[in-house]
Amino acid sequence: MTQFFKNLVDRRSLLSGGISLLGGTSMLAASNSSASSTETYTKGMAHKGMGQMMTVGDVDTSINGFDPTALLTDWETGSVTTDENGNTVRTFTVEAIDKEIEIAPGVIFPAWTFNGRVPGPTLRATEGEILRIIFRNLGSHPHSMHFHGIHSARMDGVSSNSGLIDPGDEYVYEFNATPFGCHLYHCHALPFTRHMHKGMYGAFIIDPDPAKHLDHHAVAKSRKLGTPENAEWQELVMVMNAFDTNFDGDNEFYAVNTVAHHYMKHPIPIKKSKPVRVYLINVTEFDPINSFHLHANFYDYFDHGTTLTPTLKTVDTIMQCQAQRGILEFSFKDHQPGKYMFHAHQAEFAELGWMAEFDVQEG
Ligand SMILES: [Cu+2]
């Protein structure tokens, strides 16, 4: 048995027969504890629809304190002041907090979070601003914030420079918002895999300043939050993540924005008249790549979001390695209303949680 198939069986065994080990109460719809995991999987595919190959029940988002549907659009823009030189200073406050979260119905994961949620807050700024991030460690382990962006060594959030911030301590990161794009931040404490997969990551979006991009002025304005041009779009942030619930170095659950199959049970409403822009980030540990496949449609892709013209045109599938990210733009304006699926094209990831739907509506 290759390592790949061994892992597959291990993970399916856990889901079909061993979920109680996790303290969980729900099962996959296709599970059958009297059958082997392989038999269960085969029977499930033969006799049950794809729609039933998912977790049963729903996560109580009020107990989690965050709702994956709300996470799609809750941009954290911080507070804005002007310094003595007339520069815009945007300040965010981020706290590291240990927290148990429910990642699938009945499956509790001991997360380390930024601001009590996974992914952490979606920090959003405009190109050229001075950013100040006040980071407080209220958790039980030393942590840091490492931003993907351009900054000095002291602001890099790795142990050899600004260092790790001990529990109870505070550090202020400060740097300029550049380059514009779809970025991320994450804890850079070692062991890196542990701190990442425990939930310490979030989206970091820098909107282009239209005044700096007269050659692509209209596009730049549409990317800048708060403009009338931006309001014409439906913007969504999606962080592809996964959880190793038994700490064996393999993921048991996959998702966009943490909760397995959330957007299958709560499809994302889309007005067909408005174009869609997805800020997509992959933070999945243990698997080398993740992917995004859209059904019945194609999109333009902006790798890292650092350009105002697409780096890939008319594609329906892209892949991202860990920390890679990009912007997807597409439209359903000529489609019939209805449910349109999107998911990782690794079928295993989809069945273990990374499967979702848009609910395209008139309007
Ligand atoms: Cu950490």
What are the structure tokens assigned to 258, written together?
A: 């943490």
Of the pLDDT bands very low, low, confident and very high (cuts 50, 70, 90), residue 73 is very high
What are the structure tokens assigned to 124, written together?
A: 């959003």
Q: How many of the other CB atoms lie within 10 Å of CB of 210?
A: 20
Give distance in angstroms: CA of 153 to centre of ligand 1. 18
Strands 122-126 and 201-207: parallel
Give distance in angstroms: CA of 283 to centre of ligand 1. 14
Of the pLDDT bands very low, low, confident and very high (cuts 50, 70, 90), residue 153 is confident
Query: Residues 233, 234, 239, CA angle at the centre, nearest 5°?
Result: 130
Query: What integer is the mean pLDDT of 271-282?
Result: 98
Give distance in angstroms: CA of 186 to centre of ligand 1. 8
pLDDT of residue 253: 97
Give distance in angstroms: CA of 143 to centre of ligand 1. 4
Closest CA to 28 of 107, 100, 109: 107
pLDDT of residue 11: 52
Give distance in angstroms: CA of 231 to centre of ligand 1. 35
Angle subtended by helix axes 3-17 and 37-47, to nearest 10: 80
**Pick the residue with more confidence: 22 or 330?**
330
Query: What integer is the mean pLDDT of 335-352?
Result: 95
Query: What integer is the mean pLDDT of 149-177?
Result: 89
Q: How far is CA 112 from CA 96, 109, 249, 316, 356, in A?
A: 7, 9, 17, 34, 25
Distance linking the first and last C-alpha atoms of the chain: 52
Asked if residue 300 has pLDDT above 90, the reply is: yes
Give distance in angstroms: CA of 322 to centre of ligand 1. 17
Closest CA to 185 of 132, 125, 122: 122
Q: Is the pTM of this model over 0.85?
A: yes
Report how far Cα 18 is from the mean position of its chain's Cα atoms. Answer: 27
Query: What integer is the mean pLDDT of 172-190?
Result: 96
Asked if residue 170 has pLDDT above 90, the reply is: yes
Give distance in angstroms: CA of 189 to centre of ligand 1. 5
Contact 113, 194 (CB under 8 A): no
Average pLDDT, the chain: 88
Q: If 0-12 CB within 10 Å is exposed, 13-18 middle and 19+ buried, where does residue 345 land? A: middle
Of the pLDDT bands very low, low, confident and very high (cuts 50, 70, 90), residue 16 is very low
Asked if residue 86 has pLDDT above 90, the reply is: yes
pLDDT of residue 154: 87
Q: How far apart are CA 355 and CA 40, in angstroms?
A: 20
pLDDT of residue 18: 37
Give distance in angstroms: CA of 351 to centre of ligand 1. 29
Give distance in angstroms: CA of 82 to centre of ligand 1. 32
Asked if residue 19 has pLDDT above 90, the reply is: no
pLDDT of residue 159: 73
The pocket of ion ligand 1, defined by CB under 5 A, consists of: 143, 187, 189, 195, 200
Write out pLDDT tens, residues 29-41: 333 333 344 444 4
pLDDT of residue 161: 63
Q: How many of the other CB atoms lie within 10 Å of CB of 172?
A: 12
